[in-house]
């Protein structure tokens, strides 16, 4: 199993997202723990993902599963059995040559673009794990057409947030499992 992991998965596992369901927290915890046992986390070799993780968690004083996961990830950053690093090319601030949909890139939250670029740059095109950021529900179909898949760990929560945030829009479909 390989994946690019959005920061919100670590935050949800830490209990730092008060609006998610208990099931969502448990799912994020299970996924991070399974990644530690036998998966490969894909990150960029410019440490953009690591820096974001470090800014939003506390790996030196682990309190939650996300914090502990980051501490473990940092300890294993040079171990190819657990971490693979890929290069991405910055063309402007938070803009990447490897982002597979140039027309979609400006719509993306700037900090989220790196996850897509990293997934696309990796030869295996690992999925991007997404916890509950509902905006990704609008983006995943176009990304999938380009070979980048989004794995919604908490689809019910993401849909609930989408309905709240965009009450006048029809709820988008989820990717088939």
- Residue 119 placed within a domain: yes
Number of domains comprising the chain: 1
Residues 101-113 pLDDT 10s:
999 999 999 999 9
Looking at the predicted structure, is the pLDDT value of residue 58 above 90?
Answer: no
Residue 173 domain-assigned (yes or no): no
Please check whether residue 19 lies inside any domain of the structure: yes
Is 176 part of any domain?
Answer: no
Residues spanned by the domain of 158: 2-165
Contacts by 159-164, CB closer than 8 A, 24 or more apart: 159/134, 161/19, 161/132, 161/133, 161/134, 162/134, 162/137
Instruction: Look at residue 130 and tell me if it is in a domain.
Output: yes
Flag whether 70 is in a domain.
yes
Please tell me the total number of residues recorded for the chain in this structure: 177
Q: What backbone phi and psi angles, to 5 degrees, belong to 141?
A: -60, -45
pLDDT of residue 59: 66
Tokens linked to 143: 């990304």
CATH of the domain at 56: 3.40.50
Q: What's the mean per-residue pLDDT of the chain?
A: 93
Per the domain annotation, does 98 fall within a domain? Answer: yes
Tell me if 175 is assigned to some domain. no
- pLDDT above 80 (res 177): no
Distance CA 24, CA 29 (A): 9
Given pLDDT bands bounded at 50, 70 and 90, which one contains residue 62?
low
% residues pLDDT > 70 (the chain) = 97
């Amino acid at each position: 199993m390989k994946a690019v992991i959005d920061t919100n998965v670590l935050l949800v596992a830490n209990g730092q997202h008060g609006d998610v369901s208990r099931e969502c927290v448990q799912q994020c915890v299970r996924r991070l723990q399974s990644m530690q046992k036998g998966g490969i986390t894909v990150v960029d070799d410019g440490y953009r993902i690591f820096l974001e993780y470090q800014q939003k968690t506390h790996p030196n004083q682990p309190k939650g599963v996300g914090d502990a996961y980051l501490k473990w990830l940092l300890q294993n950053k040079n171990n190819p059995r657990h971490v693979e690093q890929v290069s991405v090319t910055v063309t402007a601030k938070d803009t990447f040559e490897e982002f597979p949909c140039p027309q979609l890139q400006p719509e993306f939250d700037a900090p989220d673009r790196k996850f897509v670029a990293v997934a696309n740059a990796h030869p295996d095109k690992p999925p991007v794990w997404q916890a509950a950021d509902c905006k990704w529900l609008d983006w995943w179909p176009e990304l999938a057409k380009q070979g980048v898949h989004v794995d919604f760990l908490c689809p019910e929560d993401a849909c609930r947030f989408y309905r709240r945030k965009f009450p006048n829009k029809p709820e988008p479909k989820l990717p088939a499992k």
